[in-house]
Homo-oligomer: A and B are copies of this chain.
Amino acid sequence: MQHLIRTADFSVEEIIELFKDAKEFKNMKSNKILDGKIIVTLFFENSTRTRSAFEIAAKRLGAEVVSLDVGTSSRSKGETIFDTVANINAMKPDAIIMRHSDCGLPGTLVEHVDCPIINAGDGKHAHPTQALLDLYTIREHFNDDIEGKKIAIVGDVRTSRVAGSNRRLLPRFGMEVVFVAPDCFKAEHNEHKQYDNIREIIDEVDVVMSLRTQLERHNEIFFESIQEYANDYCITSETFGNRDILLLHPGPVNRNVDISDEMLKDPRNKILEQVTNGVAVRMAILKKLVK
């Protein structure tokens, strides 16, 4: 039985096969591939976006989805997460999709279940389905020829699980990953080049991935105002000029902090295409893992 805890769980060949399925699923026609399967979503952190994408993907494949509202009941009764998961597992679902604020938790639970676990984000660690849909979107844009392409990931790369999964995945497909961040957000102990400002590197990159600034967590600590952060890190028309660069963002975007209103209307941004690809790639992942 195979799980998806981190992108390394899939080989390059498996990912290329996965993307063939995703390409077919992009027409968004429903099918019955997972008819009769029951998929549990177990989100300990709220996420309308990711949970909906998984739910739609599962339902497009004919599966049934049971969304467990784990914030309100078992936990308030003092149950440990291991007991909660053991109980869900005893109900014999065909897969468990989970998000949790603790790094590594979904990986730990693999030994305790009889069905695939799909990690939908664990703390600062990983968000493998996001990185896979990002890779899919980049490959689609460049007609699968991404060897040697360079991507700048901009923003809070230190705590971003999206950055974490992408910096591990994209180099396996020949891409060079660099980071652009203020010192307070720079990654520690990592092999990637880090820049202070997007202008230093903009002429060399093929892709810019802007990250969501966790306004609610950081700005009051590190910046006098969110505008001070935006002055240096918001992606604007001026940043891009007339360069042919692909702009990505995992969403939701902080408008005029992460990316300007103008760039959100620019055809070089493929953010909504990422959302569509997110459903197609997750359909392919569910097809691959759920038996």
Contact = CB atoms under 8 A, between A and B. Distances in A.
Given A92-B279, A276-B91, A66 B72 contact: no
A252 B83 contact: yes
Interface stretch (A51-59, A167-175, A177-185): A51-59
Contacts of A16: none
Interface of A: 28-31, 35-38, 40, 46-49, 52-53, 55-56, 59-60, 64, 66, 68-70, 72-74, 76-80, 83-84, 86-93, 215-216, 251-255, 272-273, 275-276, 278-279
Contacts of A216: 77
Contact of A56 (B38, B59, B69): B38
Contacts of A255: 80, 83
Contact of A48 (B28, B46, B72): B72
Contacts of A251: 87
A279 B91 contact: yes
A58 to B, nearest CB: 9
Q: Which of A30, A70, A73, A74 has the most CB of B within 10 A?
A: A73
B93 A56 contact: yes
A278 B90 CA distance: 9
A227 B125 CA distance: 38
A136 to B, nearest CB: 14
Contact of A73 (B47, B80, B83, B279): B47
Given A30-B37, A78-B254, 14 more contacts: A30-B36, A38-B56, A38-B59, A46-B72, A48-B84, A49-B74, A56-B91, A56-B93, A83-B252, A83-B253, A89-B272, A91-B275, A91-B279, A92-B276
Given A36-B30, A38-B30, A38-B60, A68 B90 contact: no
B87 A73 contact: no
Nearest to A252: B79
Contacts of A73: 46-49
Contacts of A92: 28, 56, 276, 279
16 contacts: A29-B36, A30-B35, A47-B73, A48-B68, A52-B91, A53-B91, A77-B252, A78-B254, A79-B253, A83-B252, A87-B251, A87-B252, A87-B275, A90-B275, A92-B276, A92-B279
A251 B74 CA distance: 10
A72 B87 CA distance: 26
Contacts of A29: 36
A80 B73 CA distance: 24
A26 to B, nearest CB: 9
B90 A272 contact: yes
Contacts of A89: 272
Contacts of A80: 255
B87 A49 contact: yes
